[in-house]
Copies of this chain bind each other. A is one copy, B any other.
Amino acid sequence: MCGNLGRMSARAPDPARRSERSRRAILDSALLLCRARGYEATTIEAIAAEAGVGKQTIYRWWPSKGAVIMDALNEAGVASASFSDTDDVRADLRRQMTSVVRLMNDAQFAPIYRGVIAATQSDPGLAKALRERVIAPRVTACAERLRRAQQDGQLRPDVDLETLVELLYGPLYYRLLLPARRLDRALVDTVLDVVLTGAGLAGA
């Protein structure tokens, strides 16, 4: 009997590994379905069926469809938050903002991100999760890069750095979310030119 139990235990899947496999399958299925059907038409039921798990497994880890899809986008790792740190703050910002513009034009990413942001308009819990997991870490990373430039005397000391982040990214989100002209790299150059000049950078 003891031997038998021992063999069963050795063959049984490790619960932690099984959990991770289910979690991964749910996140992959969420993105797959969003890409095939769009954010709106993707349901928790369909994600569960595609991932081969029960609905209750999804609801154990996430409160809503929007929360699953947001985590899936975030873990896809495409939305890089990192800034290079050369002597040239303008070039460092330009590199990161250009990668954001590429992502905001990516047909595999942008419509899903827009779907998540749309859902936050009527889902305060999802808005909180978006702030904590996606927006805040990126705002902090950008403000840190700007802070080094400000400490080096390259930027005016009296400009609030978190607000400066919004002045840089606000126009990008404006073109992502409002029916405006196409979001392109030329916008990044104009934003950097006007905003960094206004923030005191010489020769921006």
Report A's interface with B, CB cutoff 8 A.
38-40, 111, 114-115, 117-122, 127-128, 130-131, 135, 159-160, 162-164, 166-167, 169-175, 177-181, 187, 190-191, 193-199, 204
Contacts and interface: CB of A to CB of B under 8 A. Distances in A.
Majority SS at the chain A contact face: helix
Contacts of A199: 194, 198
25 contacts: A38-B122, A40-B122, A111-B121, A117-B118, A117-B178, A118-B118, A118-B119, A128-B179, A131-B179, A131-B180, A135-B180, A159-B193, A159-B194, A162-B181, A163-B171, A167-B170, A167-B190, A169-B174, A170-B170, A173-B174, A173-B178, A194-B198, A194-B199, A195-B195, A198-B199
